[in-house]
Structure 1
Amino acid sequence: MTVSLEQLRRCHFAVDLGAARTRIYVKGAGLLVDQPSAAAVNTRTGALIAVGEFAEQMMGRTPDYIRVVRPIAGGTVVDIEMAQRMLRQLLGDKTRRALRRNLRLRAAACTPHDADPLAQRATTETLVGLGARKVELVDTLIAAAIGCGLPVERPEATMIMVCGAAATQVAVLSLGSIVTAERIPVGGEAVDHAIVQHLRHEHELILPSQSVRPLQLALSGNGLTAQGPAQTEIHGRDVATGLARSVRVDTAAVREAIQTPLTGVLDGIGKVLRACPPDLVADLADRGITMVGGSALLPGFDEMLREATGMPVHIAERPDICAAQGLGEMLEGRIEPLVLNPLAA
């Protein structure tokens, strides 16, 4: 593997910093935190008002002196101080005190594929601010593959697609390492934006921020497939009058609007397959693609990929927490490294 399993076994907790949600795994206790990556701050006093689920509910509903911020964007920390304050509150005093009893506190964290040194340093400094003496960084692709049970240590190809809020990462893994990978700047947020723009231009309707979720809009049932519902009712605000209004939306038109950002994902899969050795591509014809990440639950997304690539497409059992589970598996020492037996002389 590209990371040392022995060093990861010495870590006491692991953090999966996502654009949408933050997850914290504590060794021996399991996944303790799974909350939105959001914090509400009083701009007059600088006091932290709320974090996680409550802070996200406040988004778009606060007075002028309260600001809801997201200190993490695309899996990268953009505000170190706010990220530290958010993580302290999410962990809670009891857990923080228990972790600080370790004089050589070690932490692990997921980083996006090909994250630049500045982004890696921001993640490291964030966890050092929580008391970690040593921080191990793990590629999100490897952590997610381990978390969903893929045989990454074997000399055979496994293809994983991490569908995040800000980006989609596609990779082919073999012998515990990344053979070829691609990071596409298209995620769940791009799909949300495409739906918002379609409703604004075609129906002159503005949606509340809390309602901009594909699963809560027109993509119920079979979603992206033609077998989905023909129409659905959407509630929002009229662009001209500002009054509340409901419209009947043709889901076929919504599916067409969503195709544009999702086409970028298909292009990324094509690049990965073209750069992959032929022997590994032959393995993938049988095993197909495993989808993880919160956006993998977009109804009909897997069917669209299946039709476009001609390969089997599977969604992990708990796609949203696979990366955190993978970190936990490595922390608990449940992953054994591949042992090569040299030929006898």
Structure 2
Amino acid sequence: MTLCLDQLNRCTVAVDLGAARTRVYLKDTGLVVDEPSLAAVNTRTGSLIAVGEMAGGMAGRTPGHIRVVRPISGGTVVDIDMAQRMLRFLVDDKIRRAWRRKPMLRAAVCLPHDAEPIAQRAAVEVLGALGARKVEMVDTLIAAAVGCGLPVEQPEATMIVVCGAASTQVAVLSLGSIVAAEKVQVGGDAIDYAVVQHLRSEHELMLASKGLHPLHLALFDPMRIGTETEVRGRDVATGLSRTVLVNTAHVREAIHTPLTGVLDAIGRVLRECPPDLVADLADRGVMLAGGSAMLPGLDTMIEQATGMVVRVADNPDTCSVVGLGAMMEGRIRPMKLDPMVS
């Protein structure tokens, strides 16, 4: 992947193909697209019915011949054709007209750490369908660190944890490069799955995807820890609709198990770092980014396990694309490390 800022300065658009949401940043304009990475398809005709928020509203509520799909998983395109069609509809006519005025459009895209060549090629093909003649690929970890305002260009250690829907990436950066990094398949989806399984085993309740929303609100509110929240779902035995009161403290215990995978990844990254960089981190702490960074108790859990200060970025869900936009607009300059002449 490239991190040549001179090449990024020539780009016009930055794209973050996330498992949960797709975001598009237009140079000198800002964030113009922030929609769920979902598409509703008529399986009888193959036609695209809805994308983004509209498709999200259809999830779990469609007849058999309409299917809501995710063409992107873990930051990797798994269905190139559907991802192209989805992105084409998410990008409105105004943006497409601006792109058509630049026949040699260059685009930048965030990709997960150590993305396979086939995943890189898939991202290039998706953006190529929109008219991009050249695609620059940037590691999501570096883009997110820039978007958080971390001094990644300095010879100081900065630690970033990007918590996505399908995976979590951990890295220590210095001098604009990754010193050590890990990626684990634990994210917001795994947390939701743990909550659903907890309700099924403890309350014999099958919860719809929309039913997680009131639980999320309760878990995110520190004033409601240990309180009970009303959740509606389907009874496992009778199949009828039923409402139960769920203790938020018990739900927090249920999500503790998948979150330990994130702690293990942080420990492995710290063991790979030189002692001087680890000493820097003791003072600077850890920055959390990504859509799942606000999971309840995640920052406290990491702080207790590592002994380091943990902070959550101001806008953790958009850090990657905003950081990519900052590099594209030339708002970050690396240290000059020119060869010394004797």
Fold match (TM-score > 0.5): yes
2:328 maps to 1:331:
yes
For the 8 Å contact 2:39–2:86, the answer to whether it is kept is yes
2-structure distance, mates of 1:97, 1:330: 24
TM-score, normalised by the number of residues in structure 1: 0.95
- 1:241 aligns with one of 238, 243, 260: 238
2-structure distance, mates of 1:2, 1:214: 42
What SS is found at the alignment partner of 1:152?
A: coil
In the TM superposition, residue 214 of structure 1 has moved relative to its aligned partner by: 7.9
- 2:283 aligns with one of 273, 281, 286: 286
2-structure distance, mates of 1:103, 1:121: 21
The code of the aligned residue for 2:100 comes to R
For the 8 Å contact 2:215–2:231, the answer to whether it is kept is no
1:158-180 Cα offsets, whole Å, 9 max, x none, are 00000000000000000000000
In the TM superposition, residue 231 of structure 1 has moved relative to its aligned partner by: 2.5
1-structure distance, mates of 2:172, 2:27: 29
- 1:263 aligns with one of 257, 260, 263: 260
Corresponding position of 2:63: 63
What is the number of residues matched between the two proteins?
342
For the 8 Å contact 1:77–1:122, the answer to whether it is kept is yes
1-structure distance, mates of 2:338, 2:215: 50
Corresponding position of 1:198: 198
Unaligned runs of 5+ in 1: none
What SS is found at the alignment partner of 2:138?
A: strand
1:37-69 Cα offsets, whole Å, 9 max, x none, are 001112222221111011001001011221111
Percent identity at matched positions?
A: 68
Deviates more, 1:91-100 or 1:131-140: 91-100
Q: Residues 67-146 of structure 1: matches in 2 within 5 Å?
A: 67-146=67-146
In the TM superposition, residue 213 of structure 1 has moved relative to its aligned partner by: 4.6
TM-score, normalised by the number of residues in structure 2: 0.96
In the TM superposition, residue 87 of structure 1 has moved relative to its aligned partner by: 0.6
For the 8 Å contact 1:2–1:177, the answer to whether it is kept is no
1-structure distance, mates of 2:219, 2:174: 35
For the 8 Å contact 1:206–1:239, the answer to whether it is kept is yes
1-structure distance, mates of 2:280, 2:213: 35
The code of the aligned residue for 1:10 comes to R
In the TM superposition, residue 188 of structure 1 has moved relative to its aligned partner by: 0.5
The code of the aligned residue for 2:57 comes to Q
1-structure distance, mates of 2:40, 2:322: 28
CA RMSD of aligned residues (A): 1.6
Q: Residues 180-219 of structure 1: matches in 2 within 5 Å?
A: 180-213=180-213, 216=216, 218-219=218-219
In the TM superposition, residue 242 of structure 1 has moved relative to its aligned partner by: 1.2
Deviates more, 1:40-49 or 1:285-294: 40-49
For the 8 Å contact 2:290–2:317, the answer to whether it is kept is yes
What SS is found at the alignment partner of 1:19?
A: coil
Corresponding position of 1:253: 250
1:201-230 Cα offsets, whole Å, 9 max, x none, are 11100111122358536514228xxx8133
2-structure distance, mates of 1:302, 1:276: 21
2-structure distance, mates of 1:344, 1:59: 63
